[in-house]
Chain A
Amino acid sequence: DQQVKQNSPSLSVQEGRISILNCDYTNSMFDYFLWYKKYPAEGPTFLISISSIKDKNEDGRFTVFLNKSAKHLSLHIVPSQPGDSAVYFCAALYRNRDDKIIFGKGTRLHILP
C-alpha cells in the first residue's frame, strides 16, 4: 500500500521556467514532509521540508506547498536550472511516533536547454 504517491514518473521543463512536482499521501497522521533530490549513483540529498502546521515553506528557488485537506503537497522550483535535472523524492513521516521516512517512487525531472 503506497502511502506516499508521486504519480508522474517524469517531467520535462524548459530552463528558466517553473518546475512543479506533485505528491499525494494517504496517512493523515504524517506530520512532517520532505523533498529529497537524487543524482545517479549518489544518495538522496535533503532539499526542503515542511511541518504539517504550515502550508508553505520557501528556501531560495525552492518552495513547498502543503494542502492538508487534500493530502497533497507540491515542490516548485523557479527558475529551473540545468543542475536541477535529477530524481525528486517526496517523503513523509510521523515524528511523534517513529523516525521511519516513507518515500514516494520519485519523479525524474529533465530541464531542457
Chain B
Amino acid sequence: NAGVMQNPRHLVRRRGQEARLRCSPMKGHSHVYWYRQLPEEGLKFMVYLQKENIIDESGMPKERFSAEFPKEGPSILRIQQVVRGDSAAYFCASSPVAASGTQYFGPGTRLLVL
C-alpha cells in the first residue's frame, strides 16, 4: 500500500518561472492538504482540497499560487512567477475522511528559486 507520493522531490526554478508540484494521495484518500515549511520554521497550512473542490485556501497567498485536485490524477500546487521567498519544502498530506485528525504526509518537494 503506497504512501503519499510527491514529485518532483527537488525542483530548481529561476525567478519568474512557474513551479508545478504534484501529489498523489494514499489509495482511498479523497482529502488532500498542502503545507509549506520555510527554513527553521514549522509547517504552515496552505490549502485543503477534496476531489474537484477547494475546501479551505485560507493559508495560500492570494497571488501567484493556485491548487487543484481533479477528478482524475494527482493534486497540483502551482506557483507562477516564482520569487526567492518561495524557496521552501512543500508537503502534501492526505486523509480518508474529513475531521479525522490524522493526516499522512508525503516526502515533500524542495523548491529552490535561484
Contact = CB atoms under 8 A, between A and B. Distances in A.
Summarize A's interface: helix, strand, loop or mixed. Answer: loop
Interface string B32-51: 01010000111111001000
Contact of B107 (A41, A98, A105): A41
B43 A89 contact: yes
A7 to B, nearest CB: 13
B103 A99 contact: yes
A51 to B, nearest CB: 8
Nearest to A97: B99
B106 A103 contact: no
A95 B48 CA distance: 14
Given A43-B91, A44-B43, A89-B42, A101 B103 contact: yes
B41 to A, nearest CB: 6
Contacts of B103: 46, 99, 101
Contact of A104 (B42, B56, B101): B42
Contact of A43 (B44, B100, B102, B108): B108
Given A43-B4, A99-B48, A102-B45, 7 more contacts: A41-B107, A43-B106, A43-B108, A95-B99, A96-B99, A98-B48, A103-B44
